[in-house]
Amino acid sequence: MCSIMGYTGTDIPLSRLETAFAATKSRGPDGSRVLSLSAGTLLFHRLAIMGPEPAGMQPFTAPDGSAVVCNGELYGFRELKRKLEAKGYRFVSGSDCELLLPLWRERGAEMFAELDAEFALVLYDAPADSFVAARDPIGIRPLYYGYSESGRILFASEPRSLLGLTDKIMPFPPGHYYQNGAFVRYRDMSRVEQVCEDDLETVCANIREKLILGVEKRLDADVPVGFLLSGGLDSSLVCAIAAKLLGKPIETYAVGMSADAIDLKYARQAADYIGSNHHEIYITEQDVLDTLDELIYTLGTYDITTIRASMGMYLVCKAIREQSDLRVLLTGEVSDELFGYKYTDFAPSPEAFQQEAEKRIQELHMYDVLRADRCISANSLEARVPFGDLELVRYVMSIDPAKKVNIYGKGKYLLRHAFEGDYLPPSILQREKAAFSDAVGHSLADGLKACAERVYGDGWQAAAERYSCHAKPFTKESLLYREIFEKHYPGQAEMVAGFWMPNRNWEGCDVSDPSARVLSNYGASGV
């Protein structure tokens, strides 16, 4: 990951911008640069992944005075680079992001819809004397914005870089660009242009092909690549595909509570099957409690399931950074939104399933994707998300929901069927989905709940009323997280839409806890 920041005015002192920007130095520990422009400022912290040589340092500039900072990966950039070179453009580094200014000159804002990329950028167009910002269609790379006292817009990779510079911090909407004072949607990944009529076997073959390609793209790096392996279906598939593509042992990491680690045995099974160099990280209840405040500040959220699910990921990434030379991690996020959670087994109709998938895709940047980004980037690593590949997402969203809804007696059937064969052992390929935080160990969530019980007495509801204006806490645990959040981000609760919960309007889903563990169909998922 890298960290970017841009201010479209000149009234905030540079020293103040630099101090605010320093809060995200962990995203880019390999160097920092500030570019002062006549109309504003661009700031950059670098994590050197592609073209790690000094010439790959941002901001990139053009002879006409234009400049850009980008936290992103442009997949297939080598072919695109050759096409631009044929038009006379010259490049000085191996960085994919160096292509952005030539692309802007060639295509303007149309380039955003054409990019096969995960990105967040701020660009200064010198001939137009104007700033442009944009974010990828899913929101895998973070971007936030706010307005200064003078009404000028600020952009930053994380909200903590905007604290004290703006009254209200908001997430930059995925699939949008900002230009001339307005946000413009250039792509909506939840929207289906035409329902796919492929038969079941064709659907599964296409899913297999597109996920393999999504993994292959994300193996391209100039630094060592590793893998988070929970032992669940999604991360195990990513690892298995990568092992086949590379033809050599990959580095896999799993995390679990020392008391009751559920995932670790499944991760070991998957690792043994694909022949990876596997590493197990154990954490304790005390580790969890000691990390809670730091984690919520890092995440910038009070959402219950995000915090629970982040704890293991954050601590395993910390261990990876301390124990290895890895700089890139592939993960299994975005699969649930496409193929279904445990609770989507209760969808009353295919249409309802599809509507839920649309909602989850639109909100991804506030929950699962946020979790992966912050946990990994806080430890100076880069996250890559094969299930977030734009072509895969487009295709799966277009599949007739009658084929996606669980009529097979097994959730995520299409994905499982697509990879039948020698990718994974049956125990992993057919493993029931487990809630991430619970599979790390039930003691993780149980310990956090117990902590909240110790903090608050019977009168906790009165304390919760202080936050009734938005996303009112509804349990002692949610109140604990909200109060820690408000300590770090006072008055910024609207950054998050609210609490991630199953669709409580569906029969079987009217629950008071976001964990799949409370659902009647959880069964042996967490065993």
Q: What is the pLDDT along the chain (527 residues), one digit of tens a residue?
A: 799 999 999 999 999 999 999 999 999 999 999 999 999 999 999 999 988 899 999 999 999 999 999 999 999 999 999 999 999 999 999 999 999 999 999 999 999 999 999 999 999 999 999 999 999 999 999 999 999 999 999 999 999 999 999 999 999 999 999 999 999 999 999 999 999 999 999 999 999 999 999 999 999 999 999 999 999 999 999 999 999 999 999 999 999 998 888 889 999 999 999 999 999 999 999 999 999 999 999 999 999 999 999 999 999 999 999 999 999 999 999 999 999 999 999 999 999 999 999 999 999 999 999 999 999 999 999 999 999 999 999 999 999 999 999 999 899 999 999 999 999 999 999 988 766 567 687 889 999 999 999 999 888 999 999 999 999 999 999 999 999 999 999 999 999 999 999 999 999 999 989 888 888 887 665 55
- What is residue 358's predicted lDDT score, i.e. its pLDDT? 97
Cis peptide before 59 (omega within 30 of 0): yes
Going by C-beta distance under 8 Å and a sequence separation of 6 or more, which residues neighbour residue 102?
62, 84, 87, 89
- What is residue 516's predicted lDDT score, i.e. its pLDDT? 80
CATH topology of domain 200-518: Rossmann fold (3.40.50)
Spatial separation of the C-alpha atoms in residues 72 and 212, rounded to whole Å = 21
Of the candidates 432, 400, 401, 402, the one whose C-alpha atom is nearest the C-alpha of residue 416 is 432
Q: What is the per-residue burial (b if ≥16 Cβ within 10 Å, else e) of 189-222? A: bbebeeebeeeeeebbebbbebbbbbbbbbbbee
Which pairing describes strands 3-7 and 32-36: parallel, antiparallel, or unpaired? unpaired
Are 455 and 315 in contact by the 8 Å Cβ rule? The answer is no
Identify the helix (H) or strand (E) that includes residue 446. helix 442-455
Report the chain's terminal Cα–Cα distance, integer Å.
34
- What is residue 385's predicted lDDT score, i.e. its pLDDT? 96
Query: Which superfamily does 3-185 belong to?
Result: Aminohydrolase, N-terminal nucleophile (Ntn) domain (3.60.20.10)
Return the DSSP state at 487.
Answer: H
User: pTM for the complete prediction?
Assistant: 0.96
Identify any residues that bridge with 131 across adjacent strands, giving them in sequence order.
Answer: 124
Of the candidates 341, 404, 329, the one whose C-alpha atom is nearest the C-alpha of residue 372 is 329
φ, ψ for residue 60, nearest 5 deg: -80, 145
φ, ψ for residue 144, nearest 5 deg: -130, 160
For the chain, what are the domain ranges? 3-185, 200-518
Spatial separation of the C-alpha atoms in residues 253 and 257, rounded to whole Å = 14
196 is catalytic: no
Instruction: Provide the 10 A C-beta neighbour count for residue 422.
Output: 10
Spatial separation of the C-alpha atoms in residues 416 and 33, rounded to whole Å = 46
Are 295 and 307 in contact by the 8 Å Cβ rule? The answer is yes
- What is residue 204's predicted lDDT score, i.e. its pLDDT? 98
Please identify which of the residues 2, 70, 204, 317 carries the catalytic annotation: 2
